[in-house]
Amino acid sequence: MCGFVGIFEFTESFEAARSRALEMAKTVRHRGPDWSGIYASERAMLAHERLSIVDVEHGAQPLLDVAAGRALAVNGEIYNHVALRDALKRPHAWKTKSDCEIILYLYDEYGPALCKMLSGIFSFALFDERTGEFFVARDHIGIVPLYIGWSGDGVTYVASEMKALDRVCETIQEFPPGHYYSGKGREFVRWYDPDWAHAFPTKKASLHDLRTSLETAVIQQMMCDVPYGVLISGGLDSSLIAALAARHRFKRIESGETEEAWWPRLHSFSVGLENSPDMKYARKVAAHIGTVHHEVVFTVQDGLDALPDVIRHLETFDVTTIRAGTPMYLMARKIKAMGIKMVLSGEGADEVFGGYLYFHMAPSAEEFHEETVRKLFALSRYDCCRANKATAAWGVEARVPFLDKEFLDYAMSINPAEKMCPGAKIEKGILREAFTDLLPQEILWRQKEQFSDGVGYSWIECLRNHAEGKVSDQMFAEADKRFPKQTPTSKEGYFYRTIFDSIFKNPTACLTVPVGPSIACSTPTAFLWSQQFASMDDPSGRAVKGVHIEAMDDT
């Protein structure tokens, strides 16, 4: 994962704009500690901080198409870059073997339509020297972060993280996932608009196709020229991804699995408090699939001490994201210390298959599907934000095969009636049934445990107690006066918001963070399946009484 900033149509001097771009780039250097580069012209600046994953020796950015007069800065991975070369109609002067260079030449031949051709995770900014136009785009779900802002004199800024724009722009907003923005059009254009987002899917589930589609996603996301690993929480989702990766670890994906892998030993990582539920099960998964397993044990005090840094990196005050993001942030530091630069993770399965425990309450297949769609398109502010920024804080890239564009389009085309889990039926049933031979039965049929719960139940309790000690009843009663915008709905949220505001000074920064009650409402729009549940302000999975079965603490 990399970081970049872009400044377009600036009015200050060339020297001042270049200096500003370099200073802004320093704020995202943690995302790309391997190399720095800058493209500077009289009308645009692109500064790039690189984390080298593919073509380590030659893939430095910004990339240049000298013939067409264009410069490009990318954060992300284009998994189908080799296959896309066949889509080019003309010869081009290739400079690297990087997966990102293909964007320059696709844009040259296809323009904005190139976005639909890409299979990957990305945000990028492209500048055309000849026309003075710029083009900015973000991947389908917002797996990779991107922000856009404007100064009072109309200069447009983009950056991989909000902190680069905080003290520069008058207004800041999240760049919407699945959209592009051009200097010519001056508006966001949706390029990712799948049928399943608007129509009720009717395709009958095929366990074979489901399995094949997910395995294909995992294989293509193993594209990597550096040591990589897998995250194992001990739950279904991450365990499936780890197990599929383990099956293909002995051969190099880039060669079509015809050459020996550069790093055939697969390392896995789990995190938790001492004797946490997740670590016990993660240990069993690692032994079953044969990884070199590493356990990152943290204390509550470690987590509390890290909170200001976590909020600075995650750029949020959302309670769920910080609860889960803190252990992930601590684990990522250990992963980096092991020399691992990329990890595969299990985010997205709960949104695709209705895996959160409140989906047991879904009154109909139609409403079940609507909720999965709503949650998928909110992921950029929640799980994608957490997974990307918590790992990028230490120069590690997280990849999420469950959100692979092709897998997503297949899985979301399945009739949602086949995903439902009424009554005592376990959630994500069809996903479990598709992989009955891949994992131990106790893992395959383990009930959903939210990451912030599974790392150790006392973690959440200590966070609540810590916030109680910092935020008085009177302070919380007057929360709307201190925070009239995005007002916190709990003392814990209030505490995180005070840290957030001490770091981010732009008055529009808080608007990039949604606020709403309960796990049922991880996005701003509440659903009405259960009035009692919708009013809960605790986003822990254990709040779903009658569904959640608390894990045992024994090992």
DSSP 170-208: SEEEEPPTTEEEETTT-SEEE----GGGTS---BPP-HH
Q: What is the pLDDT of residue 454?
A: 61
| CATH code for the domain defined by 204-439 | 3.40.50.620
Q: What is the pLDDT of residue 343?
A: 98
Contact in structure between 71 and 46 (CB atoms under 8 Å): yes
Q: What is the pLDDT of residue 422?
A: 82
Average pLDDT in the 327-354 region?
A: 97
Residue 524 has pLDDT above 50, yes or no: no
- Give CA angle at 456 (455, 457), nearest 5°: 130
Residue 40 has pLDDT above 50, yes or no: yes
Average pLDDT in the 31-53 region?
A: 96
Q: What is the pLDDT of residue 263?
A: 87
Q: What is the pLDDT of residue 531?
A: 60
Average pLDDT in the 55-75 region?
A: 93
Residue 90: count other Cβ atoms within 10 Å of its Cβ.
8
Phi-psi region of 354 (alpha: psi -120 to 50; beta: other; left: phi over 0): left
Which residues, 6 or more positions from 55, have their beta carbon under 8 angstroms from its beta carbon?
96, 97, 98, 99, 225
State the maximum Cα–Cα separation within the chain, in Å, rounded to a whole number: 68
Q: What is the pLDDT of residue 469?
A: 97
In three-state secondary structure terms, 384 is: helix
Active site positions, annotated: 2
**pTM given for the model:** 0.94
Taking the C-alpha atoms of residue 458 and residue 461, their distance in angstroms, rounded to an integer, is 5
Nearest to 304 by CA among 103, 120, 465, 172: 465
Average pLDDT in the 434-440 region?
A: 96
Helix (H) or strand (E) holding 414: none
Residue numbering of the annotated binding site for L-glutamine:
99
Evaluated on CA atoms 230, 231, 233, 235, the torsion sign reads: negative
Residue 10 has pLDDT above 80, yes or no: yes
Mean confidence (pLDDT) of the chain: 92
Q: What is the pLDDT of residue 285?
A: 97
Residue spans in the chain of domains classed CATH 3.40.50.620:
204-439
Average pLDDT in the 460-470 region?
A: 96
Confidence band, pLDDT 50/70/90 cuts, at residue 450: low
Q: What is the pLDDT of residue 416?
A: 97
Confidence band, pLDDT 50/70/90 cuts, at residue 462: very high
Q: What is the pLDDT of residues 146-162, one digit of tens each?
A: 999 999 999 999 999 99
Residue 526 has pLDDT above 60, yes or no: no
Residue 87: count other Cβ atoms within 10 Å of its Cβ.
14
Q: What is the pLDDT of residue 282?
A: 95
Residue 283 CA from chain centroid, whole number:
25
| CATH code for the domain defined by 3-193 | 3.60.20.10
Residue numbering of the annotated binding site for ATP:
231, 271, 345-346
Residue spans in the chain of domains classed CATH 3.60.20.10:
3-193
Residue 518 has pLDDT above 80, yes or no: no
Q: What is the pLDDT of residue 451?
A: 55
Q: What is the pLDDT of residue 456?
A: 65
Average pLDDT in the 109-126 region?
A: 98
Q: What is the pLDDT of residues 225-247, one digit of tens each?
A: 999 999 999 999 999 999 999 99
Q: What is the pLDDT of residues 396-418, one digit of tens each?
A: 999 999 999 999 999 999 999 99
